[in-house]
Structure 1
Amino acid sequence: MPDILATSYAPKSLNDLETLLKNDIKVKVAVDGVLRGKYMSKEKFLSAASSDGFGFCSVIFGWDIHDAVYSRELLISNRANGYRDILAVIDLSTYRRLPWENNVPFFLVSFLDPDTKEPICVCPRGTLKGVTDRAAEYGWTCYAGVEYEYFNFKETPQTVADKRFHNLEPLTSGMHGYSLLRPQLNNEYFNDLFDVSAVFEVPIEGHHTETGPGVFETALAYTSAQRMADNALLFKFLAKSMGMKHGVIPSFMAKPWGNLPGCSGHVHVSLRNSSGANIFAIAKEEVEAGGRKGAANEDTKYVSQEAEWFLAGVLEGLPDIMPMLVPTVNGYKRLVGGEAFWAPNAVTYGYDSRAASIRIISPPSVSPSATRFEVRVPGADMNPYFALSAIIALGMRGIQRKVELTGPPVSQLSPEDKKSGKVKMLPTSLESATQRMMAPGSIAREEDVFGSDFVEHYGGTREHEVKLWNEAVTNWEVERYLELV
């Protein structure tokens, strides 16, 4: 099988690397999450590539997206350890060149503890690798796809700052999903997103306008979970870079407008065995016979027993890992009352249902080899490494423990469903979601999911976000209370 992790021209040895870089004087490296990085001289880079890595300030695990130190001291980076260096290890398989930066070489890195040389527990790339490595012990390879919806604004970083982020101008007006006309208004930008992605080895399957002023949707080509997370992160970087070129700001914020649909980050997942066969699929003969005997219900008769256990595992743990799928205060605005916008806010599943939290995609709507689950809870603001890690870890737990699927499929919630407790609702705020994830009995704390070290650190970062929100005074509050209370 081809190397599904590596780009097509990734070096296979240090000699290959030196040959690839023979005409370069510098290299760009980047760390995941909110993409950060720096230029390195070629000499420094080659030295790091041939050794254990290079020192990188651990403060990237100690501050938020606006470079503010977290409200309380966390595990990896803190005053007590002096925000010491950690080891950044270059992943040669991620080699690309940046077409919009004079084709400078570009690599992603992962992080190790400088003392133990073990992966840092909250390194996003390392976290996902740990999960996919556990799947590999069973002979399985994790596959995934990501679809992003995102608003685009006819603005620049300077204009939005000058406007104090108010009255921003959308790229186009009106609601025009799947429009053939609206992309003509910004043709170069719209096509650059697709074309430059291909050159950058972030292949796209579909690219179109979505409902909402200036909204695009881009579906990234299905591949291995690790490569998919890299591609999802790098697509955001590319989109923002292309936006700067064309005077556009693409926003992956989950809910920029209160009265319009939000921006999803739907995740598709499946598992394949060593021969490349999809273990979620059932045999052609079973499909022709009307589905698998012994399935929990009609909705799961076209998926395998392993797939049903995987689904049950994700559903069981979903409320406990919500901050991994919806990491921002704003993201929950997309889910609250989101049924009208196909934004699920309950523990639900359904066959080919876009109203459920987990959509089962299987025959007869697709061929057996394309059988998969679409997790529709995440917004475009997700960290793809953490979202994929959570989904796959829960699904693997479901298979290992043979978790039974309980409850019927529910595609559309009724008021009675919510009142009766027949359907479990998901947390409605980052605060409640974080509290649940950090609770002593949380599934997230189990060692075969994330473990307590991860939960304490990541949960602490989310507590910080909640604290900043609770301290903020919003325009809504001023307009509502200033005069009349």
Structure 2
Amino acid sequence: MDKNEIIKKIKENKHSKIKVAIVDIDGVLRGKFMHRDKFLSALESGFGFCSVVFGWDMGDVSYTNDIKVTGWHTGYDDFEARVDLDTFRTIPWEDDMPFFIVDFAKEKAEDLAVCPRSLLRKMIGEAEDMNYTPMFSQEFEWFNYRETSDSLKEKNYRDIQPLTPGMFGYSILRMSENSDYFDDLFNLLGAFNVPLEGLHTETGPGVTEAAIQYSGILEAADRAVLLKQPLKKLHIAMASLQVSWLSRLQSFRGVAGTSIKVFGIPKKKENLFYDGKSKDNMSDLMKSFLAGQLKCLPEILPMFAPTINSFKRLVVGAWAPINQTWGHDNRTCSLRVLASGKKSTRIEHRVVGSDVNPYLAMAACLGSGLYGIKHKLKLDTPETKANGYEVKKGILPSNLWDASQKMKNSKIAKDLFGIEFVDHFTKTREWEWKQFSAEVTDWETKRYFEII
């Protein structure tokens, strides 16, 4: 729809208010209601949105570690928010209320460097300048529980009841037992313009996987962010349901972590990754893209693993990689190459956890691949044909602090995403590490309280 068609639909909609949302540095969807008249005027001039959304953490605690873009030193002024009309959809579980995503600008016509969606737009612009159209999709895995917000707190997030018991991946039985939930999930997401290709149980108690249909990369990131929103609101079919995007849960230490697998295909009018004349079907462009992703991976790891918990997943045997590896259809590698045909040749990035900010993860996937093309990198890293966990070279940083320090001092990261973004983002990751380090965990208490 063009602008006039969207405005017409808004005016005809029975709601007098519009829901608008932004995505903060942690990937949390934040927003507010706007009166229809205010919203329509904002389409021309933009509107102010408090900069605090980039000045506090996911718990609304203000950063105190020299965050420059906003803070007490700026008075938490407003940033200019700009509505992206292409994100228009209605919310089917809120009586078809109109919904839009907005971007941020620091000044007129200048994107805000720390805005995740604006950063992805920057990467898209670089791809389009090179005459490429990046097409992405994603698969999400997450935990489902028969709990409420109150019951979780009462139990202190312990002994919580999963939606389905046992290690029952690809289970028709478990889906049939919860058919109302899965039906609502599939249908309502489709109505919310987050169309799924597939939906099934994964191995582990209450684990579900959903594959979102591929699209242009910005739309793919929007869909990934918006997938989480209905899942946290869908109590339609279930009396009580809570979901978790944690990469690894203490309750299920023997269970593989949850992830979002990101697929990338640069296109013009055809899949430029595919070369039928090559014995492995991989074009030289694909090999350079892959080489760039491998080279940049340890330099930008916090964009793929942004939390303390992310690194509990990146361990041996958890169906997640630990090193700079690639292989054809090899699920133990960081980058799994699928090169079976002209339509389907793509790269699956397996480092990415489900706790990421999708805009940042996709910007990192695309930006690092373009780095390889720009620098005409050769795919010198040998293919891993066996167990990737046994490869001892290129081991990735093992915790958020080390990964953040590497990115903070990385020339590659600053070249890819700009000094201002790298400075802000790595300081937010350092903050996350310091908040964790100041806490005394249950493990420490159980381990040391009586014995030491």
Tell me the TM-score range normalised by the shorter chain.
Answer: over 0.9
Quote the RMSD (CA, aligned, Å): 1.5
The change in CA–CA distance for 1:463 and 1:411 in structure 2 (over 3 A counts) is: farther
Return the match for 1:253 from 246, 250, 266: 246
1:271 aligned to 2:266?
yes
| 1:369 pairs with 2:343 | yes
Aligned ranges 1:15-34 → 2 under 5 Å: 16-22=6-12, 23-32=14-23, 33-34=27-28
Which of 445, 448, 460 matches 2:414?
445
Q: 1:428 to 1:102 in 2, by over 3 A?
A: same
Q: 1:319 pairs with 278, 283, 298, which one? A: 298
- The corresponding residue for 2:328 is 351
Provide the C-alpha distance between the structure 1 equivalents of 2:207 and 2:235, rounded to a whole number of angstroms: 13
Deviation at 1:117, TM superposition (A): 3.4
The residue identity in structure 2 corresponding to 1:80 is: H
Q: Which runs of 4+ in 1 moved over 6 A?
A: none
Residue 27 of structure 1 aligns to a residue in which SS? strand
**Structure 1 residues 76 and 162: CA distance shift in structure 2, 3 A:** same
In the TM superposition, 1:191-230 aligns within 5 A as: 191-230=183-222
Unaligned runs of 5+ in 1: 1-9, 293-300
Equivalent positions of 1:85-484 (< 5 A) are: 85-113=78-106, 115-243=107-235, 246=238, 247-256=240-249, 257-273=252-268, 276-283=269-276, 286=277, 291-292=278-279, 301-337=280-316, 340-363=317-340, 367-413=341-387, 417-418=391-392, 423-439=393-409, 441-446=410-415, 449-484=416-451
* Counterpart secondary structure, 2:262: strand
CA contact (8 A) 1:207 1:216 kept: yes
CA distance in structure 2 between the aligned counterparts of 1:302 and 1:343, rounded to whole angstroms: 25
Q: Is the 8 A contact 1:436 1:442 kept in 2?
A: no
What CA distance in whole angstroms lies between the structure 1 residues aligned with 2:337 and 2:450?
51
Q: Is the 8 A contact 1:355 1:411 kept in 2?
A: no
CA displacement at 1:174 relative to structure 2: 0.4
Aligned-residue sequence identity (percent) comes to 40
Distance 2:390 2:156 in 1: 43
SS of corresponding position for 2:147: coil
Shifted more, 423-432 versus 16-25: the winner is 16-25
TM-score in terms of structure 1 length: 0.89
SS at match of 2:289: helix
Shift of 1:270: 1.0
Distance 1:183 1:139, change over 3 A: same
> Does structure 2 conserve the Cα–Cα contact (< 8 Å) formed by 1:29 and 1:39?
yes
Q: Which residue of 2 aligns with 1:13?
A: 3
Aligned to 1:270, the other structure's residue is in SS state strand
Q: Which amino acid aligns with 1:395?
A: G
Which among 42, 47, 55 is matched to residue 48 of structure 1?
A: 42
**Cα distance per residue 1:65-103 (max 9 Å; x no partner):** 111111313122111110100011001111111111111
**CA 1:92/1:158 → structure 2, altered by over 3 Å: closer, same or farther?**
same
Cα distance in 2, alignment partners of residues 438 and 79 from structure 1: 24
Paired residues of 2:352 and 2:361 also in contact (CA < 8 A): yes
Amino acid paired to 2:10: L
TM value normalised by structure 2: 0.96
Count of paired positions: 445
Residues 24 and 417 of structure 1: CA distance in aligned 2, closer, same or farther (over 3 Å): closer
Distance, in Å, in 1 between the alignment partners of 2:135 and 2:338 is 14
Gaps of 5+ in 2: none
